[in-house]
Structure 1
Amino acid sequence: MKFTASLLAAGLAAAGMAGQATAQDVDNLSVAYEEGGRYYTEDDVPTYNIGEDGTVDWLTYSGFRRYHSECHVCHGPEGEGSSYAPALKTSAIDMDYYDFLDVVTNGRKVVNAASHNVMPAFGDNPNVMCYIDDIYVYLKARGADVLPRGRPGQREDKSDDIRAAEEACLGL
């Protein structure tokens, strides 16, 4: 599939190196550079960009929409968690980006005496995988407490690069 090959091949291949550092070891929030409407940290990990006036970058805005179409049923509104599944807004801060991709793509099962948690695999769902970075940066902004609950009011326009990547991923 186009989205697993294009999004995850390089990312998961780099996971061995990236997974050695924890979120506490690196700044996984601050924008180091922008490329085609996407914002990245020094370690080339996607991140959010929120202006002083509250304007959010396109991926954060799109991530709000995608999260609430695919993830909130289990993980609660705005990444706050529920009685069924944990809060994801903290996962995007505390979990390595490549580990986050791996869990969303392949799922995870944690069964022990205290809990029985099953995260289904979304690797074949283009409504998740084509927008995984969008969801991730939205959750990072929520976890960093820089994005309030609710639909973002102001947003940047979708760049041509983001539009082209979306169309390619969806096969349009």
Structure 2
Amino acid sequence: MKPDAQPSKDTATEGNTPTVADLGEFKDPSGNPTYLIDKDGKVDWYTWRGYKKYMANCMQCHGPDGLGSSFAPNLTNELQALSYYDFAGIVVSGQKNKWNTSGNSVMPAWGDDPNVMCSMDAIYTYLRARADGVVGRGEPKRIANNKPAQEAEYKCLGF
């Protein structure tokens, strides 16, 4: 049986549970975004929203469910070794392939794109849950809507 709340494995230690930030975004003890899964397997709003934003902005290269493609890595594997800050740095600045000498980025920089930047924590949270093996393939069911978080995203996007 799953526990009522499950923090991400990258920073979880026995007895630590996620804390809730101002907008209902869960944070691990180090302050990194994390997921919450209820006893029925439903996820918090940020994890669900991360799936939606991943599918809109990342899936074309990294494949469905973060499993990779012929030209972009499997993110469920990559997040086993990447910290939140490493992930954020790659998303913001892009990443070059060490064999690419043309100066073109293999992973584009998304730092100027509000469609990605306004949801980066949610995307990370979804991928972290996938990497930890606690969220399966396809759209996860969410616990409930999070109106304040939704309004904050709209504000960030300029709506």
- Between the aligned partners of 1:110 and 1:78, the Cα distance in structure 2 is 23
Distance 1:117 1:106, change over 3 A: closer
- Alignment of 1:158 onto 2:135: no
| Native 8 Å contact 1:37 1:159 kept in 2 | no
Q: What is the distance in 2 between the residues matched to 1:87 and 1:158? A: 29
Q: Does 1:50 align with 2:37?
A: yes
Q: Which segments of 5 or more consecutive residues in structure 2 lack a partner in the other structure?
A: 1-8
Q: Is the 8 A contact 1:57 1:155 kept in 2?
A: yes
Q: Look up the match of 2:11.
A: 27
Q: Which amino acid aligns with 1:43?
A: S
Which structure's residues are more often strand, by fraction? 1
Q: Is the 8 A contact 1:57 1:156 kept in 2?
A: yes
Could you tell me which residue of structure 1 aligns to residue 4 of structure 2? Answer: none
CA distance in 2, matches of 1:129, 1:152: 22
CA spacing shift, 1:152–1:164, aligned 2, 3 Å: same
Q: Which residue of 2 aligns with 1:38?
A: 25
Number of residues of Structure 1 aligned to a counterpart in Structure 2: 145
**Deviates further, 96-105 or 84-93:** 84-93
Aligned partner of 1:124 in structure 2 is 112
TM-score (norm 2): 0.82
Which structure dedicates a bigger proportion of its chain to helix?
1
2:51 counterpart of 1:67? no
Assess, with a 3 A threshold, how the Cα gap between structure 1 residues 149 and 163 changes in structure 2: closer, same or farther.
same
**Amino acid paired to 1:33:** T
Distance 1:147 1:99, change over 3 A: same
Give, in whole Å, the separation in 1 of the partners of 2:140 and 2:83: 25
User: Could you report, residue by residue, the CA deviation over 1:120-172 in whole angstroms, capped at 9, with x for unpaired residues?
Assistant: 11111111110000100000000000001011124321141x13421331122
Give identity over the alignment, percent. 41
Q: Secondary structure at the match of 2:97?
A: strand
